[in-house]
Chains A and B, each alone.
Chain A
Amino acid sequence: MPIVSIEDVIKIYEGKVTHRALDRLSFDVEEGEFLAVMGPSGSGKTTLLNLISGIDMPTSGRVLIKGTDPATLRPDDLARFRRRELGFVFQDFNLLRMLTVEENIVLPLTLDRLPVEEMDARVKAITARLGLGGILHKRPDEISGGQEQRVAIARALVHRPSIVLADEPTGNLDSNAAREVLDLLGTINRENRTTFIMVTHDPIAASYCDRVLFIKDGAYYNEIHKDDRRRTFFQRILNMLSLLGGNVDDLSSVRLP
């Protein structure tokens, strides 16, 4: 049974100009899969993430996560659902500026009222693994972008969610930091069997995934699966992107992995 299934989802934004962000989109994500979603600007990638996390409700169709439709939950249950099942990684990290690194990481746990010893243990474990031990008491302003994103990842993982949603996690990082972050995500995906759904523009980032889903104008366009060598997988992603068209400047400058 897929952990996430999107069934014929349509999302229409009413406004001065009615905008159809998602158009009968359907796909499944298996447990433990690392999925990349690609598409030109305005193709509905971020809308998709918002629907999966229950921030937004579909106009028609259904989103099922572990068999639950977030649209049917009451607001408090939805919040509880998010804090237990989902983790978020953002493009601009979105660490809370007034909290230290440690406090940022522990934040999702405090919401769930865990005992302090448990929280301490979990923070210790995750920070050791992500190599953040030395900067626990620094503020977000005092660390580098790559470190900030690693802190954000620690925050997304500390409560052991089943699905992590990442919105352009490497968009604000230089190539070295980006590679580190992607390696990290890949390792966690393999070792913890955590499901990742990552929205990205970057073909390099996408080449770290098991499967890449392409959407265009809110509709399913195509998908390709990983093969043995990342270099050829990367080349196939590039080919698909050029087929997809869209704005060329959306693509980050080509860097080989």
Chain B
Amino acid sequence: MSTAAVSSAAPRKGADVTMTVLRRIGVFALTVWVASLVVFTLLNVLPGDMARAQLGMNATDADVASFRAEHGLDRPLPVQYFDWITGFLTGDMGISYSSRAPVAPQVFDALQVSLILVGAGILIAVLIALPLGTLAAVRQNKPDGVLLSAVSQAGIAIPNFLAGLLLISIFAVGLGWMPSGGWTAPAEGFGDFLRQLALPALALGLVRGAILSRYTRAAVLDVMRDDFMRTARAKGLMPGAALRRHGLRNALVPVVTVTSVEFSALVIGAVVIETVFVIPGLGSLLMRAVDNRDLIQVQGIVMCVVVLVLLVNLLVDITRTLIDPRLRSAR
């Protein structure tokens, strides 16, 4: 199937590209809409009455009724859905059952934290994966190349929360070099921000980096087999030099693409890492909302994650449409 993506990428005129992009955006909007129906159904139709769980045990039936009225839970489901989705589009995700505060500001604050964490995780993953993967490819049949492959294989097998626990145990509690957790916004103290970001980003990046390094290795090997590389080598260039001169840029493009696909894995990985490092991101918020059965908050967070994943996919898809790397490569 390796030619599937290529064959569809025949040269297009500008108008075609615009149409393609618009069509993709349209499909994105449709996808988001259906996803919102799925999220709403999961969290509103399946569970029972949430009012009792939110009010203390001294609540009377009248208290429950007024809670339901206050949160609009006494209206027909389609009305509730319409209200929620129109609100969501304008940045209003309703009022949290447990904190009694608007959901949206909490979600947006937490989202910023999570995005920084995920961004740092991607950065570390790429910084690990590019050299490691390239080296593993160039030296694929030599002992060190095999060793590198084995290391990345082992790295994939280690759960990120285990990596996080060990990092805390060694670098925070053991050696005292780093804080064991917490979060400082960059604006409030950049030094503290970096110190607190380091370990969780590492825990997140190490494992994803191991996975990414395998893709990198594959991409580099793929490029090395390409005709132009054979030619370069035939002209007497060493494999490493040939790769540096011609191949790496070509290998990078699919790796970047895969990194974006890995995005959803990183976001989900962050959920676990945030609880290990007590970071007030989307993951911590989600776990607390689940514990509190604060379904309106769960709904907002889940929808945000889903939109985010779809959005990143859309952006990468559009980018690929605009500059199809295969067309520019020497094939």
Partners in one complex: no
